[in-house]
Structure 1
Amino acid sequence: MTVFDDLVGQDRSVDVLRQAATAGAEVLAGGPGTGMTHAWLFTGPPGSGRTEAAQAFAAALLCHSGGCGHCELCHQVAVGSHPDVETVRPQGLSYGVKETRELVLRAAGAPTLGRWRVILFEDAQRATEAAANALLKAIEEPPPRTVWLLCAPSPDDMMITIRSRCRVVTLRTPSTEAVAHVLATRDDVPPELAAFAARAAQGNVSRARRLALDAEVRRRRESVLSLPRGLTSLGACVEAAERLVKTSAEDAEEATTRLNETETAELRKIYGEGSSGKGLNKGLVRGGAGAVKELEDRQKSRATRVRRDSLDSALLDLASFYRDVLAVQLGAVVELPTEDRRADLDALAVVSTPEDSLRRIDAIMLCRERLEANVNPQMALESMTISLWKPRL
């Protein structure tokens, strides 16, 4: 088993990365290393495994056997403890220029173990314009042993000057059968549940795994997909919108509260709160209050991002539902991700038209755009649910 074995349905991309890792070893030995470059851009739809592919490539570059998957170096990369691999995960709404400049300085250092220094940048499209410009300079003039691995949904999400300097690896959406096989063989998920999760996740491996292993995730999906049936009045539309907002807020609180408390406590400890001894006091030393305020701002941004991601996941489930309604109306012979709601699909297909279904899908996509543009979530969702109830208003 190698580091590339977990990349589901990505055989072509794996071949490219294997060849590049071999070329990287040639560079280290003083050879030409044709096929190896210092900047890579991993693109693909959500759940296709952009980060996993980049991490596997990092391990292959650092492993003396090209990513064997069982040596200490491969293990260190997998668990995030390798000294020459830095993974950047933007947790807020964006990644700023100050953080990027600090990252560029760290990337300029020589590798600790003498092979490569790898910077794995998840969701690189979240870099602000100023941050992207700072990143561009580092990619244009990289140190000889530094490799940048950027991840983004599409090449178009990155500045053209950045993507033109990167080798692009495009990942595809894995088939339902491939995802179900992985769940059944590697996670010991019962075949029937694995098939359901793979179909519902539409090729998103990480979401399929959450659906298969977490009953609460399945319950929340069920709650979202039952929403169309309950949109019978203006009041019901407002209540449904409020319910979605509340659920996303609960998700954010659950995901961030404990982490926020830990981060704040550690920062206060660093700045001397509660210390004793001559010259010390129980309050924060100079500069501590500003650092805490900066941390709180980052935490608020992270919570907003989690809320948005939770809402976006719900909206994508709704879009899948109405797309399946449209498929039923048109008699299309295709796999239905929401097949488990077949009774609701058939009922809505009978009382509405394909044009209604298209309008409803458009309303969901418009809501996603509004949320990304910082429109008040309650207002955006109320507008959407009313359009789902009465698509021809």
Structure 2
Amino acid sequence: MPFHDVIGQARAVLFLQRAVTTGRVAHAYLFTGPAGVGKRAAALALAQALNCQQVSSFEFRVPGLKSGICNLQQHSDTQHPTPNTQHPESPNDGCGECRACRNIANGQHPDVQMIEPDGATVKIEQIRTLEADAALVPYEAQWKVFILNNAERMTEAAANALLKTLEEPARNTVFVLLTSTVAALLPTIVSRCQAVTFSPLPHGQIEALLREQGMESSQARLIASLSRGSIERALSPEVASLPATRDRLLEGLARGFQDGPAALIELADKLAKDRETLQQQLEILSAWLRDLMVAKASGKTKWLVNDDRGETIARQAAVVRLDAVLEGLRAVHTTMDNLTRNANPRLSTEDLLLRLREALPSGLLPVSA
């Protein structure tokens, strides 16, 4: 996947392309941002841009050379084929079709490695193997590229070993660390990398991509709104089943409201067993209350996230007070914020459900009502 195929990250892509064009390629990059927004694709695109066989000779500034300049084709012992006229020269992007680009995309290039966690962590043995390989000259490419996925999952020993490698980088070697949690990395590692920020994709862009793949419009809008800006998350099977998940959640809440506090405490215990699932349920609830607010305030349903339930939302909005909806929405957002601060999931969820029962009418939430 060359740079031109990376979705929704124009600023990050432009920054990397300028580095390739000017020859000011850093020895280490830190790609930060939520999971599934294009960090991995951009790292592979960078490897393709540096090693594409269709790009004509151009100069890089390489630390350590007396002149500071290294001509790529003259510096390499590998003979590259004559550029194919069907693929215009683009010295800041890979063609995506030459042998080098295809091998990089398929994970089969000897000079481009993707290091994944071994189980729960990236272990020191993996970093030592990386160090030994980085000390060697490229096998066939111009640049060796090491991509470390989920870099925040390095053990302390692995992180310290990588730090030594970053302090003494080999020539024509690039390290790309991918993380969604910068705070979990050693500050000394962060300081030795060029940071590149990847932002969540706009919901409208994700919705359009889902519709291009044949997804029905109302489902695409719902999934896009709950994707957290991640196309990877939007395409996951769990998120594809969100409409059914939403209906079960709202029905369960409605029964809990009617049956009383004991039923809500039992429901909170079920919801809080998995933090990731709980986050998704809270996002679903937030979207529903947001739609109630929009319908109540505007009297219109064309702006709804859950537009497949437009009639139900309009009916519920007619019988609920706006201040009650806003109170419920604030309670959901407060709980979501508290969970990011490592609050107890079960106690936080219990408190939220009891607050919602006080704020909202008992018969409000059933989608089948």
Which residue is equivalent to 2:67? none
- By percentage of residues, which structure has more helix? 1
In structure 2, distance between residues paired with 1:358 and 1:122 = 35
Which residue is equivalent to 2:51? 62
Structure 1 residues 91, 73: closer, same or farther in 2, change over 3 A?
same
1:201 is paired with a residue whose SS is coil
Structure 1 residues 208, 78: closer, same or farther in 2, change over 3 A?
same
Which residue is equivalent to 1:363? 335
Q: Is the 8 A contact 2:287 2:305 kept in 1?
A: yes
1:198 is paired with a residue whose SS is helix
In structure 2, distance between residues paired with 1:380 and 1:128 = 31
2:110 is paired with a residue whose SS is coil
In structure 2, distance between residues paired with 1:181 and 1:311 = 27
In structure 1, distance between residues paired with 2:256 and 2:131 = 51
Structure 1 residues 208, 98: closer, same or farther in 2, change over 3 A?
same
In structure 2, distance between residues paired with 1:142 and 1:117 = 11
In structure 2, distance between residues paired with 1:322 and 1:92 = 39
Which residue is equivalent to 2:99? 72
Written as runs of structure 1 = structure 2, the 5 A alignment for 1:166-185 is: 166-185=193-212
Corresponding letter in the other structure for 1:75: R
Which residue is equivalent to 1:48? 37
In structure 1, distance between residues paired with 2:36 and 2:249 = 20
In structure 2, distance between residues paired with 1:386 and 1:81 = 54
In structure 2, distance between residues paired with 1:93 and 1:318 = 31
Q: CA deviation at 1:203?
A: 2.7
**1:26-61 superposed Cα distances (whole Å, 9 cap, x missing partner):** xxxxxxx2x211111112234422222222222222
RMSD value, Cα: 3.8
**1:53-95 superposed Cα distances (whole Å, 9 cap, x missing partner):** 2222222222223311222322222232222222233375544
Q: Number of aligned pairs?
A: 315
Gaps of 5+ in 1: 24-32, 249-307
1:240 aligned to 2:229?
no
Which residue is equivalent to 1:39? 28
In structure 2, distance between residues paired with 1:386 and 1:79 = 51
In structure 2, distance between residues paired with 1:335 and 1:123 = 37
In structure 2, distance between residues paired with 1:312 and 1:352 = 22
In structure 2, distance between residues paired with 1:165 and 1:157 = 15
Q: Is the 8 A contact 2:271 2:278 kept in 1?
A: yes
Q: CA deviation at 1:244?
A: 3.3
Corresponding letter in the other structure for 1:166: C
1:16 aligned to 2:15?
yes
Structure 1 residues 44, 367: closer, same or farther in 2, change over 3 A?
closer
TM-score, normalised via structure 2 length: 0.68
Structure 1 residues 329, 354: closer, same or farther in 2, change over 3 A?
farther
Written as runs of structure 1 = structure 2, the 5 A alignment for 1:254-265 is: none
Q: After superposing the two structures, state which structure 1 stretch, 219-228 or 161-170, moved more.
A: 219-228
**1:103-125 superposed Cα distances (whole Å, 9 cap, x missing partner):** 44444443322322222122222
Corresponding letter in the other structure for 1:367: L
Corresponding letter in the other structure for 1:7: V
Structure 1 residues 196, 310: closer, same or farther in 2, change over 3 A?
closer
Which residue is equivalent to 1:205? 231
Structure 1 residues 366, 83: closer, same or farther in 2, change over 3 A?
same
Q: Is the 8 A contact 1:121 1:149 kept in 2?
A: yes
Percent identity between the aligned chains?
A: 31
Written as runs of structure 1 = structure 2, the 5 A alignment for 1:1-393 is: 3-23=2-22, 33=23, 35-65=24-54, 66-90=93-117, 93-153=120-180, 155-185=182-212, 187-191=213-217, 193-210=219-236, 215-216=240-241, 218-224=243-249, 227-232=252-257, 233-244=260-271, 308-321=275-288, 337-338=305-306, 340=308, 343=312, 346=317, 350=322, 352=324, 354-370=326-342, 381-382=349-350, 385-386=353-354, 388-389=356-357
Q: CA deviation at 1:325?
A: 5.8
Q: CA deviation at 1:354?
A: 3.0
In structure 1, distance between residues paired with 2:239 and 2:331 = 33
